[in-house]
Homo-oligomer: A and B are copies of this chain.
Amino acid sequence: MELTGQSIIGYQRGGNTGELFYAFDPAAGEELKPPFYSASPAEIGKAAQLAAASFQTYRQLMGGERATFLRRIAGNLEDLGETLVERATRETALPAARIRGERARTANQLRFFAAIIEEGSWVDARIDQGDPARQPVPKPDVRSMLEPLGPVAVFGASNFPLAFSVAGGDTASALAAGNPVIALAHYSHPGTAELAGMAIRDAAREQGLPEGVFSLLFDARQSVGKVLVEHPDVKAVAFTGSRAGGTALGKLAASRPEPIPFYAEMGSVNPVFILPSALETRAEALAKDLHTSVTLGVGQFCTNPGVVVTMAPADAFAASLAALMNQTAAQPMLNRNIAGAYRRAVSERSAHSRVKSAGGQPEDVHTEPKDADNGPDNCRSRAALFQTDAASFVAHPELQAEIFGPSTLLVAARSREDLLNVARQMEGNLTATIHGTERDLREFADLIAILETKVGRIIFNGFPTGVEVCNAMVHGGPYPSTSDGRNTSVGGRAILRFTRPVAYQDFPESALPPELRDQNPLGIWREVDGRFTK
């Protein structure tokens, strides 16, 4: 598979006249060939128009046919073999083993949604049979199910070149529900994006799907994305990235003549609460495991634990963690912007009047960002550990800002109430974690009750990094962790984001979708007259 640097517009390739840019190897500190060309306004329009035209055919395919498509994509991704691994590794500085694992997860996600749509019950089919004899008015026959929204724009994430990018969970769930997808490559790994994009395009072509079910656009400076979000043929957007980026795009989506659903996952500090008995009995192990979670993937996870709340005294735990942070070698981050932003954020936090630098090499980090310098050192970042007290944390909301990278903030509470207060003052987060005994959990039932209103997932005696792709997973949370906390971008419910219910009243059997016919030809679970039945 030769990279061309051109967008994929249905079954055609884009031109090479748009603004060009190069991928950058953050470990080696060098640009990578070939050049990539930004999609032109005409190409964006063509991708949107093809997507809209393909929608009527694609949405009416049987679940099994779309499942075949998703499985083909998974197979094609795997068939890319080491070509994909090598390119992704160079573009992200993530280790090959991580990329291989992420590819497996990405393929599994596609097969996970394939299984869901093949089985078919996800459409939430509901049937209320009519009663022409009812008084004072006849009861109509009403049947409804979830149906797709239309073309979905998917923005790739910097930190998951596969699982949250071109062929990632947003694309998989949008395609599964019956929506065409226009993916936007992240500038940080365009070659990986092109390889994944070709895998999807080939799968669509092999299956004879209408042109436009999938397109991939390149974007040198975040202008293509804006045009895409405002395009009248685009009916929903999924984005994973910064709060600033998500907020700006969300405003565009909301101020269109026809506002559209906009799903942004925007970052989270994922507070960890260490209850007294856990601290007493396993401070050493907790420090070790927390260090692993904080520095995993150079801390570049949306579930990275960025705030750790203990009940004082936690000196031994803090000392152990500091020692581990001190020993952590500098590692290349995903790209120059992320490394620069990390340095600036760490530098700012070091200077905060209520915060103490407690480990890692913040003194190395203090140096001014050298954004003009393209050398490999410019992308390397060291771990950073900070400490504050609960009262200061509560009084300074800026301490809840995510530092994207291998950094965390220890918050020392003086009392149970102090700890609960930290929980009460937390903004919305993707996750919260509690370490303790079962007895702790009973005694801190009010902590759970608070966290239930603040986060999408609560973890007991584990760590938030590592999001299991399963039916029950919730990877979402109240604002500002996402733009729309009613949803999840991982797990079975992710498909629901790209649907809406449609009802059919007094329709003859032959005009109903198979999911709603009397005989239940697809054998799916349905609610008939209020009762679940197959």
Contacts and interface: CB of A to CB of B under 8 A. Distances in A.
Interface in A436-458: 438, 441-442, 445, 448-449, 452-453, 455-458
A502 B491 CA distance: 12
A442 B530 CA distance: 30
A457 B527 contact: no
A412 to B, nearest CB: 25
B532 A144 contact: no
A455 B500 CA distance: 10
Contacts of A530: 115, 471, 492
Contact of A128 (B251, B452, B471): B471
A500 B471 contact: no
A501 B493 contact: yes
Given A258-B479, A441-B510, A502 B460 contact: no
A139 interface: yes
A194 B121 CA distance: 44
A472 B442 contact: no
Each complex incorporates copies of this chain amounting to 2
A6 to B, nearest CB: 31
Interface stretch (A157-165, A328-336, A387-395, A462-470): A462-470
A478 B232 CA distance: 13
Interface string A259-276: 111000000000000000
A117 B504 CA distance: 25
Contact of A456 (B453, B459, B474, B502): B502
A76 interface: no
Interface of A: 55-56, 60, 101, 115, 121, 124, 126-128, 136-137, 139-140, 142-144, 147, 149-150, 250-251, 254, 258-261, 428, 438, 441-442, 445, 448-449, 452-453, 455-462, 466, 468, 470-474, 476, 478-480, 483-488, 491-493, 499-508, 510-511, 525, 527, 529-530, 532, 534
